[in-house]
Copies of this chain bind each other. A is one copy, B any other.
């Protein structure tokens, strides 16, 4: 059984907060390429509701993403990379803590994400990537959508980030328009949603002027890079887009053949290009790891053309089909990462562990960390240690991937009225490497694989401590 911390301060004290740069050498990574070098800067660019198939290099026919395509060609394009959950809040808890959201209580089957009336947030006992990087002397910024609790005690500045600039929850919340659903989203205006834009702990604009958010987030990112070019820095840039309502700035409106959704993705692409150019111009690219991915699959099930595409993958946002949880993922670190397409399995939770290893930061050892160390894949020295993906929907385990095989115990559409949970006994079984679209159930042919997956589930559940549910807590009026 894991110990449960009452406060993460205990860990951070042990890990040497305030004694950064004095860590003993064995804490440093074994990777030859960065040993004795400066600590690498880290930038995570995390989109919102971007689909597996929405980038040129991932096969979209009409969305043009030349900057991301180039980033992928200069780095690693992962094709089996997963998020921790198929909706915003739990997915974000996963990437920032390296832990399945069920452990932190950041998922629920009823209220699947936090809302403006939510009273909960990421528990203080959880340790974020920003916090572990602070122990190594990093300057840290969270720029963009947070969605891990908007009450003062849950804000990014209380979670290891020196700086915050962004919106505290989704851009479709605080709906103040009286317009019909269709008109509102198909012809959106920024004033329909009274979403606050915050800087550190203050609201600086309300409603947030959404058409300029992608650009402004990038401006803030570039400013933070420039101001900290002599420090190691960590920037978590969590774009608000392409989550509905979709907003592009004037230069990008009506530009893409794909329509508004394409405009928005092409604006993100262009702004990723600005960041990479800044790193090159400042001669920081050889010392900066940039990771691009998204929080969950595309929302086409509800928003049709306004939602993205999961490409050849089945389903989308909210579901435990591949389209809900497999994402584009690009790792870029010129001169360090072995270029190529990576078919190994990875997870956003592994970013936590890998970065700890890369920087020599201590990985919390008093709790289960689900992330694994992806350095062998990044540096081309070995396979991914990750073999298993748990697909939770809320607090219920719907499916498990082990190696090439995925068993579905339950399936349910991501969104939609009158949807029903289907229980599968025996579970559906797909070979994802051969059948990535999850079309051909092979459960009858392979009972032994199902038995093995069930054994894995049993072991997983035996050690599972479910965190106190944060998503059902409502502000009392």
Q: How far is the CA of A257 from the CA of B434 in the complex (A)?
A: 7
Count, chain A residues at interface, CB 8 A: 35
Most buried by B among A59, A60, A310, A439: A59
Which of the residues B305, B312, B439 comes within 8 Å of A435, measured between beta carbons?
B305
What per-residue 1/0 map shows which CB atoms of A68-90 lie under 8 Å from chain B?
00000100000110000000000
Interface residues of A in 188-203 (CB under 8 A from B): none
Which A224-274 residues have C-beta < 8 A from chain B? 257-259, 261-262
Our pick among B257, B305, B312, B404 for the contact of A312 (Cβ within 8 Å) is B312
Known: A53-B311, A57-B57, A312-B311. A433 touches B64 (CB 8 A): no
A473 to chain B, nearest CB (A): 37
A120 to chain B, nearest CB (A): 36
Residues of B within 8 A of A262 (CB): 434
Instruction: Identify the 6 closest CB pairs spanning chains A and B, nearest first.
Output: A59-B59, A61-B79, A257-B433, A259-B434, A304-B440, A311-B312
B contact residues around A64 at 8 Å (CB): 341, 343
A62: CB under 8 A from chain B?
yes
Give Cα A64–Cα B431 distance, bound, in whole angstroms: 17
Given contacts A257-B434, A305-B434, 10 further A-B pairs with CB under 8 A are A57-B57, A57-B59, A58-B59, A59-B311, A61-B436, A257-B404, A259-B433, A304-B439, A309-B436, A310-B312
A433 adjacent to B341 (CB under 8 Å):
no
List A residues 78-128 near B (Cβ within 8 Å).
79-80
Q: Is A56 engaged at the interface, CB distance under 8 Å to the other chain?
A: yes
The answer to whether A278 has its CB under 8 Å from any CB of chain B is no
B residues less than 8 Å from A434 (CB atoms): 62, 257-259, 261-262, 305
Inter-chain CA distance A73–B57, complex, in Å, is 11
Cβ of A437 within 8 Å of any chain B Cβ, yes or no, is: yes
Q: Which residues of B contact A61 (CB under 8 A)?
A: 79-80, 312, 343, 436
Q: Does A46 contact B (CB under 8 A)?
A: no
Known contacts A61-B80, A440-B305; A312/B53 CB under 8 A? yes
Query: A437 — nearest CB in chain B belongs to which residue?
Result: B309
Neighbouring B residues of A58 by C-beta, 8 Å? 59
State whether the Cβ of A331 lies closer than 8 Å to any Cβ in chain B: no
Does A217 touch B at the CB level, under 8 Å? Answer: no
Please tell me if A300 contacts chain B, counting CB pairs below 8 Å: yes
Determine whether the beta carbon of A53 is less than 8 Å from that of B62: no
Known contacts A311-B311, A312-B312: does B305 contact A431 (CB below 8 Å)? yes
Q: How far does the Cβ of A248 sit from chain B's closest Cβ, in whole Å?
A: 14
CA distance A343 to B64 in the complex (A): 9
Residue interface bits A24-47, CB-to-B below 8 A is 1, else 0? 000000000000000000000000
Q: Quick check: A312 and B79 within 8 Å, CB to CB?
A: no
Q: When chains A and B are docked, how far (Å) is the Cα of A248 from the Cα of B308? A: 36
**Smallest Cβ-Cβ distance to A69: which chain B residue:** B341
Of all chain B residues, the one with the shortest Cβ separation from A258 is: B434
- The smallest beta-carbon distance between A315 and chain B, in angstroms, is 13
Distance A53 CA – B53 CA, assembled complex (angstroms): 11
CA distance A57 to B58 in the complex (A): 7
